[in-house]
Structure 1
Amino acid sequence: MTRPSTAAFAVRPVLSVALLAGAVLTALSGRYGYHRDELYFMVAGRHLSWGYVDQPPLTPFIARVSTAIFGDTVMGLRVFSTLSTVATIMVVALIAREFGSARRGQVLAAICTAVSGFVLAVGHLVSTATYDVLAWMLIALFAVKLLRTGDGRWWLALGVTAGIALENKYLVVLPVGALLVSLLIVGPRSVLRSWWLVVGVAVAGLLALPNVVWQFQHDWPQLTVASGISADDGTENRIMFVPLQILQLSPFLVPVWVAGFRRIWRQLPWARSVALAYPVLCVIVLATGGKAYYALPLLLVLVAAGCEPTLRWIDQHRRAALAALPLAAVSSAVFTLPVLPASATDLVIPVNKEQGEQIGWPDFAASVASAWQTIPEAERSHATLLTGNYGEAGALARYGSAHGLPAPYSPHMSFWEWATPPNTNTGPVLLVEQERTLGFESHFRDCAQVGTITNIVANDADGTALVLCSGPTEPWSALWPRLRRYY
């Protein structure tokens, strides 16, 4: 089978597009505030380990390094996220090059990636998805190189990338698995008969081993978390899968990735397994009730493939093209970046709830402090501040000390492991509950609501109940195991 050669890489224009996107992300990085997950990562970074209840160790480690180098601020925390996005844009352009795009096609691939809502959203924040999308694009690049050249040594590069990515998020097994299934269906199966595949799998396993051992030693808590999320959100995820695929990437890019799928299938038979991997992955995600964004990165591969036919369309419809890309950029920015006034983010939260999760945490801590002040001063030394979830605990860990609050405890996710209230804390307990739960409150005596969090946007913290109880019903050492929550 004839494999195409590749054009020179358009380094300067592609890098210019990537750096412009990075400059926009940097300029806006501190405009709202920390996301609830970022507050959690910062605490996790102070408890470095080979694993956590809900994730491998890489993202908390990067969060700690970033704040140590660039400062303990929102902007300092997000520097590596911005750099990861710059790299992602470059890699998608390289994928377009592998599909036969010359200078213009590579630049268009970079622009399409830079105006993608999904890429901007994960690039703006510190999240496991931020580094996951870069890993997926590198895996796709090496897979396309493998198929184009037939050189089995690319399995080693793919294995190294997958192994490192497994220390960030287990979802990386999805694109690799989808690609292997697609290779079995449409070929070329010859690449599966290489000893380099065995080497790549072995390297990936060795790199992932420290976290796998940690999970084994702790009874696989991440599987418990994943099954709980699927049970809670699986139906909604399936209903919203297609609409969110379109909205989160960008409706303006739909013709590009559709053209990319058609082009691969009709004109690039050596790469058909790459195109088929996307629908295979969609089936897997739908069957397991996963979130829509789990399959989104592979759409960027189809976008890269669709740039050549899109260029031909642009040459014939310049006016429409000149309007489409700016509209894609503006709409993506509005829904994923902090360009609106904070009080106006309710307009975009239905599509991207993560916008709202960056707003109101300093005020949240101040409200909790006001409730804490209702505890008589003589009783505060043996009182307990207990939050219902990791976001609340992370916010109070970051902002609470400025308001005279003690370190918070939480039975949620890895917070449960990091600290247990001492048995000497026999006094009042201030519960910070996203929603009042009688089963949770039954572990404490004489509970009464003393405050409510009122945020300027309808995020998860809005309406949080502040409930003051006279004390735990039994010693914390006996109570703590029963309070543990994985999701």
Structure 2
Amino acid sequence: MIRRSDVQSERFYDTIALLAVVSGKFLLHVGVNFSGGYGYFRDEFYYLACADHLAWGYVDHPPLSIGLLWLSRTFLGDSLPALRLLPAIAGALVVWWTGLIACEFGGRRFAQVLAALAVSIAPLFLAIHGFYSMNSFDHLFWVLSVYILARLIKTHNPRWWLLLGFVLGLGLLNKISMLWFGFGLTIGLLLTPLRRYFLTKWPWIAAAIAFMLFLPHVLWQIAYDWPTLEFMQRAASLKMVLKSPLEFFGGQILGMHPFTLPIWLSGLYAYFGFKPLRRFQIFGWIYIAVFLFLFFNGASRDYYLAPAYPMLFAAGAIVIEQLTRYRRRPWLKPLSLILLLIGGLITLPLVLPVLPVETYIRYQAKLGIAPSSEEKTALGQLPQHYADRYGWPEMAAAVARVYQSLSPQEQAICGIFIENYGEAGAIDFFGTQYGLPRAISGHNNYWLWGPGEASGEVMIHVGGNLTQLQQIYTDVRQAAVFTCEYCMPYENNLPIYIGRGLRQPLDEIWPLAKNYI
């Protein structure tokens, strides 16, 4: 007879083991962020600028992550460790709930730890949880939705639908791609006995809750003539590198780490071929539906499917745990954990800035890995997720020197036009120490914010084409060139111009500056 105290003791040690993995993941990110981590990432400057303009939507994302950033910045400031605390917490919670999902599926301590460790060492999760963006919260909303759905299946309590609707609504308010989960959920319901719920009120109430939470953003889209649709269409055609289905599948293997492949493939199989998990078959259909949608899309990035993997890791870890118990292969337990740790250490420098940059470049070359990009841009010595962290303070200082070369009268009316939101956000962030005016740009939400107080009579242009600028101004001269060894090539040897005498009023030519991409 199993005593209740023994069960409680087992659960306590299960929790301690899972917390050890969660803590390791969290402390790794915190440590890297306190070390400086190569600096702020391009998109982080843009999100900080968005947090200065709170709204129910933005051209390229819904508002929730920006609202959270505003709260974080208000109470913690905008230092690198403070800025990246929330994604580190979100990443740790993804690991935690992955372990809990394995527990809901009937997994014991080893399965919970194995599933959590697989998420922890996956390169895509490490990279995305290492800087501020809506993607870390997207992972969290997915894994929460999976956990809630697992509880619904286990308990047969339809009230779990209410919480699921709430989480899906928040997920949509964070990132529109949460619709992919809704798509997969619908397919999964139709293809499993859970379709019976369509004859009840509960999923419809859940859908209504999600829609009502998402409604403010929909109204914002309507008010601004659906800018996100234009952004998505232009980004897919002009920015994203088209991938073959095989390239996308290969990206999944690398993004989740090759050493975890047996785990998530076992998990996908388990939902259909492993009797203890067949009642959770809906999760297999969710993965297949979303995978096929992205697989044949052509313009899908590798990380789009990342939030679907924790539910596969949870199921796959149970399969491996069963192998160790019933096939008498206890050596599989330590071997699995050790292999994941070793594999994670090998790929860690590729996704988190744990090495000095010169050492990283040598390490990358020794592994035989060339920098790659999912965008139509040339690369330098570093992959884009590292190159986009270099040169920002120096760029702001270079612009400040040009600004300070102007007379006080010209400084009073000078504007600063920037080609992209990363550069504009960096000028806004670092420019305050030099007394620079806020940057203006045609890129995404910067275009919606408009030209501000700039008149166009005197304008500093960072980047751009001299011939085109001469058509806009009566007088244009190159005042400086910004150089940066490790940044993206299109931001190295970047000319900085001063334009005087706008040929047309700024408000008349501003519509031509729009660049949703």
- TM-score of the two chains, using structure 2 as the length reference: 0.86
Cα deviation code 1:321-340 (max 9, x no counterpart): 35412223213421221112
Q: 1:230 aligns with which of 226, 236, 241?
A: 236
Distance 2:15 2:198 in 1: 32
Please tell me whether residue 416 in structure 1 is matched to residue 447 in structure 2.
yes
Distance 1:441 1:417 in 2: 25
Q: Using the aligned pairs only, state the percent identity.
A: 27
Cα deviation code 1:427-475 (max 9, x no counterpart): 2x22123x64866774344445444332232426334332333342211
Q: 1:156 to 1:318 in 2, by over 3 A?
A: closer
Does the 8 Å CA contact 2:249/2:295 hold for their aligned counterparts? no
Aligned length: 479
Q: 2:289 aligns with which of 280, 288, 296?
A: 280
Please tell me whether residue 309 in structure 1 is matched to residue 319 in structure 2.
yes
Q: 1:113 aligns with which of 106, 110, 119?
A: 119
Partner of 1:249: 256
1:99 maps to a residue whose letter is F
Please tell me whether residue 20 in structure 1 is matched to residue 20 in structure 2.
no
Where structure 2 has 5 or more consecutive residues not aligned to the other structure, the ranges are: 1-9, 365-369, 374-382
1:259 maps to a residue whose letter is S
Cα deviation code 1:124-175 (max 9, x no counterpart): 1110101000001111112223334443222211110010111111110101
Partner of 1:469: 499
Distance 1:198 1:270 in 2: 22
Partner of 1:298: 308
Distance 1:296 1:167 in 2: 19
How far the C-alpha of 1:20 sits from its partner, in A, is 1.8
Partner of 1:372: 403
Distance 1:49 1:358 in 2: 27
Does the 8 Å CA contact 2:123/2:348 hold for their aligned counterparts? yes
How far the C-alpha of 1:120 sits from its partner, in A, is 1.6
Distance 1:54 1:100 in 2: 40
Distance 2:183 2:470 in 1: 44
SS of equivalent residue, structure 1 residue 315: coil
SS of equivalent residue, structure 2 residue 439: coil
Partner of 1:350: 372
Q: 1:73 aligns with which of 72, 79, 86?
A: 79
Distance 1:437 1:189 in 2: 62
SS of equivalent residue, structure 2 residue 460: strand
Q: 1:392 to 1:202 in 2, by over 3 A?
A: same
Cα deviation code 1:328-382 (max 9, x no counterpart): 3213421221112134555475276222222221112122223434545543332
2:258 maps to a residue whose letter is P
SS of equivalent residue, structure 1 residue 278: helix
Distance 1:463 1:248 in 2: 33
Cα deviation code 1:55-112 (max 9, x no counterpart): 1111111112112222221111111111111211111111111222012211221111
1:83 maps to a residue whose letter is I
1:198 maps to a residue whose letter is W
Partner of 2:426: 395
Q: 1:40 to 1:83 in 2, by over 3 A?
A: same
Partner of 2:482: 453
Does the 8 Å CA contact 1:422/1:476 hold for their aligned counterparts? no
Distance 1:355 1:36 in 2: 10
Q: 1:64 aligns with which of 64, 70, 79?
A: 70
- TM-score of the two chains, using structure 1 as the length reference: 0.91
Partner of 1:381: 412
Please tell me whether residue 49 in structure 1 is matched to residue 55 in structure 2.
yes
Does the 8 Å CA contact 2:170/2:213 hold for their aligned counterparts? yes
Q: 1:261 aligns with which of 256, 268, 279?
A: 268
SS of equivalent residue, structure 1 residue 236: coil
Does the 8 Å CA contact 2:456/2:500 hold for their aligned counterparts? no
SS of equivalent residue, structure 1 residue 340: coil
Distance 1:235 1:364 in 2: 28
1:27 maps to a residue whose letter is G
Distance 1:345 1:218 in 2: 44
SS of equivalent residue, structure 1 residue 409: strand
Q: 1:233 to 1:422 in 2, by over 3 A?
A: closer
Please tell me whether residue 484 in structure 1 is matched to residue 514 in structure 2.
yes
Partner of 1:3: none
Does the 8 Å CA contact 1:388/1:412 hold for their aligned counterparts? yes
Q: 1:324 aligns with which of 312, 327, 339?
A: 339
